């Protein structure tokens, strides 16, 4: 567990990737970079590519590009799927042990999906992923904010027992962000549709993190959900161990003690900034916090209005 002295350190621990100039870029045929591949994965990709005819990928010194024959979204999806199925079968990478059967879209420069791929495999190609995080909170009669914080289940494959935002989830291909919010509120916290529907989109945080599985540029659509003061979320699908209702000083204390999953701490800091708990007058790093919360990612994202 890492202990921090400031919110800036918490954010730097999450938004930690500063350069990928020496890594291999993963590109569409039109040259758009959609991901970044680290050396270990690159070696395995080169080996795999020799076993398939025609080769699905074109490899140069510092670029992997889809073969020109993979012209459609379905063809690209199929090529990546075959690769990951092989690696999963061969147990090439631990990342694939966490297979979720959940498809994420990877977007081209036109904002449309260029292909879709298994969620657990995204760090291997370093592609950008998109999710929702919901800050559930209440206000005292004097207006003071308390925040619902989740403790992740001890059985979660990633970040067991760490603190988390009340509700969060990846956006499945074909879901809108609000539909994802409503689905996850039910699954993770038993929050019924009529209450979950009050959640509103209050921004998007973007950051570039890395884990043992690879590089992870991420965009999380942030939703705020003010709950009635007597309402309690409850675990449902086993992903959450329990929920706490803490004032923001308590959230800060746990955060600096390193108890949060790093990107959930980032989302909580964004909430504290937007609601006047962290201010330009009380934090000397204020502008740098904003930069880390809104990192401009060098990869395309979705361009669609639902």
Contact positions toward a second copy, by CB under 8 A? 111, 176-178, 200-204, 206, 219, 221, 224, 273-276, 279-287, 290-291, 293-296, 301-306
Secondary structure of the chain as H, E, C letters: CCCCCCHHHHHHHHCCCCCCCCCEEEECCCCCEEEEECHHHHHHHHHHHCCCCCCCEEECCCEEEECCCCCCHHHHHHHHHHHHHHHHHHCCCHHHHHCCCCEEEEECCCCCEEEEEEHHHHHHHCCCEEEEEEEEEEECCCCCEEEEEEEECCCCCCCCCCEEECEEEECCCCCCHHHHHHHHHHHHHCCCHHHHCCCEEEEEEEEEEEECCEEEEEEEEEEEEECCCCCCCCCCCCCEEEEEEEEHHHHHHHHHCCCECHHHHHHHHHHHHHCCCCCCCCCCCHHHHHHHHECCCCCCCCCCCC
Output 96 or 293, the one with its CB closest to a second copy. Answer: 293
> Shortest gap between Cβ of 37 and a second copy (angstroms)?
23
Cβ proximity to a second copy, 8 vs 117, nearer residue: 8
- Least distance from C-beta 291 to a second copy, angstroms? 5
Closer residue to a second copy (CB): 259 or 285: 285
**Least separation, in Å, of the C-beta of 42 and a second copy?**
28
Q: Cβ of residue 6: shortest distance to a second copy, in angstroms?
A: 10
> CA 99, CA 120: separation in Å to the nearest integer?
5
Beta carbon of residue 179, minimum distance to a second copy (angstroms, whole number): 9
For residue 130, the minimal CB distance to a second copy (Å) is: 9
Nearer to a second copy, 200 or 231 (CB): 200
The count of other CB atoms within 10 Å of the CB of residue 284 is 10
Residue 78, preceding bond cis, omega within 30 degrees? no
Nearer to a second copy, 125 or 225 (CB): 225
The least distance separating a second copy from the CB of residue 91, rounded to whole angstroms, comes to: 35
Nearer to a second copy, 65 or 177 (CB): 177
Smaller CB separation from a second copy, 93 or 271: 271
First to last CA, the chain: 40
Structural contact between residues 98 and 136, judged by C-beta atoms closer than 8 angstroms? no
Minimum Å distance from CB 108 to a second copy?
14
C-beta neighbour count of 90 within 10 angstroms: 11
**Closest CB 98 distance from a second copy, rounded Å:** 26
Between residues 65 and 216, which has the closer beta carbon with respect to a second copy?
216
Q: Which is nearer to a second copy, 212 or 281 (CB)?
A: 281
**How many Å apart are CA 34 and CA 52, to the nearest integer?**
22
């Amino acid at each position: 567990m890492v202990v921090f002295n400031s919110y800036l350190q918490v954010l730097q621990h999450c938004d930690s990737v500063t350069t990928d100039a020496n890594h291999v870029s993963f590109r569409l045929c039109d040259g758009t970079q959609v991901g970044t591949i680290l050396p270990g994965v690159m070696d395995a990709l080169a080996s795999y590519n020799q076993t398939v005819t025609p080769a699905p990928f074109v490899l140069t010194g510092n670029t992997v590009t889809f073969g020109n024959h993979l012209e459609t979204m379905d063809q690209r999806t199929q090529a990546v799927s075959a690769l990951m199925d092989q690696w999963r079968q061969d147990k090439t990478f631990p990342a694939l042990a966490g297979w979720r059967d959940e498809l994420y879209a990877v977007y081209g420069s036109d904002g449309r999906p260029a292909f879709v791929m298994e969620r657990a495999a995204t760090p291997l190609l370093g592609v950008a992923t998109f999710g929702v995080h919901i800050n559930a909170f209440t206000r005292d009669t004097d207006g003071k904010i308390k925040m619902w914080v989740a403790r992740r289940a001890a059985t979660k494959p990633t970040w067991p027992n760490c603190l988390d935002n009340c509700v969060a989830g990846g956006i499945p291909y074909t879901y809108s962000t609000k539909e994802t919010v409503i689905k996850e509120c039910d699954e993770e916290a038993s929050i019924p549709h009529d209450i979950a529907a009050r959640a509103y989109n209050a921004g998007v945080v973007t950051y570039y993190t890395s884990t043992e599985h690879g590089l992870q540029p991420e965009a999380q659509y942030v939703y705020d959900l003010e709950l009635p003061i007597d309402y309690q979320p409850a675990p449902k699908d086993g992903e959450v161990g329990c929920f706490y209702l803490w004032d923001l000083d308590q959230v800060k204390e746990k955060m600096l003690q390193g108890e949060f999953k790093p990107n959930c701490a980032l989302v909580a800091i964004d909430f504290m900034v937007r609601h006047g708990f962290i201010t330009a007058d009380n934090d000397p790093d204020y502008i740098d916090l904003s930069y880390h919360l809104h990192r401009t990612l060098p990869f395309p994202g979705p361009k669609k209005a639902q």
